Amino acid sequence: MLRKYRPITPGTRQLVLPVHEKLTRAEEGKRAKVKPHKPLLKSKKRTNGRNNHGHITCRHKGGGHKRRYRLVDFKRDKENIPAKVASIEYDPNRSAYIALINYADGEKRYILAPEGLKQGDLVQTSSEPPFSVGVCMKLKDMPLGSTVHGIELYPGKGAKLVRSAGLSAQLMARSNGYAAIRMPSGEVRQINEDCRASFGQVSNSEHNLRVEGKAGRSRWKGIRPTVRGTVMNPVDHPHGGGEGKSKGNHPQTPWAQYTNGFKTRSLKKSNKFIIKDRRKK
């Protein structure tokens, strides 16, 4: 659910933010958030887009509110032990919600919360039904046509694919030890059928509809301003210079790398697992 703010101030004129009504509250009827589980918290060092030499390697990063990292279990390697969802929580480090689950043996872990997962639900990692939301299993044990997220690229290495808010992939087919997965981009690729994935779509699907409303809100998130190349000088950008608004530039990065349709994928990378390219309709 989204809330569109009334234009009481300039910063609220365009502001559209999620209400986060699906998050677990500390007390019924109150807005108090559930505090994160302390043993699963870790300090988060800010790099501000700089490498080990202090040089900026990723522009437009810096500042922002202090955060603590939540240790999310992407491996889901605790097999055949049921776990109960204790709470659905906000994570400042990702677009999706996370869920705190309590295993029957007493251990607590955070997992990515799929859409529809509620406090009190049961989830587990196993090779047998039920095929319910939040349950994790190997691709070879899943029924064809399943909607999945949090997919591993290599068995036992943890989920790498389909982790952002609102995303989901579909299990299309299986053959010769590989499963064909249709990704959110439209690409169809083969993945080892011993890799694990979780059922359902990633939570917080309305994340892409939010409008920050003002520059300051982006600064709170650690995002610095982006300046257009056309307003720079020729020494700073290929689009720079000229009198007034000059047109006719080929879209480029500041380092003259063509964009908007120019393929930048390394030729050293293998395409043997890609069945259908995301650009082909």
Report the C-alpha gap between 151 and 263 in whole angstroms.
25
Residue 219 lies in a domain: no
User: How many other C-beta atoms can be found within 10 angstroms of the C-beta atom of residue 227?
Assistant: 12
CATH number, domain with residue 241 = 4.10.950.10
Of residues 145, 152, 110, the one with CA closest to residue 131: 145
pLDDT at position 244 is: 86
CATH number, domain with residue 57 = 2.40.50.140
pLDDT at position 46 is: 92
Residue 152 lies in a domain: yes
Residue 280 lies in a domain: no
pLDDT digits over 173-211, tens only?
999 999 999 999 999 999 999 999 999 999 999 999 999
Q: Taken in order 93, 96, 97, 100, is the CA torsion positive or negative? A: negative
pLDDT at position 249 is: 81
Same domain for 160 and 72: yes
Same domain for 148 and 19: yes
**Contact call for residues 163 and 177 (beta carbons, < 8 A):** no
pLDDT digits over 34-72, tens only?
899 999 999 999 999 999 999 999 999 999 999 999 999
pLDDT digits over 73-98, tens only?
999 999 999 999 999 999 999 999 99
Residue 221 lies in a domain: no
Task: Indicate the number of domains in the chain.
Answer: 2
Average pLDDT value for residue range 225-253: 90
Find the domain containing 188 and state its range.
2-210
CA within 13 Å, CB half, 247: 0
Same domain for 38 and 175: yes
Residue 215 lies in a domain: no
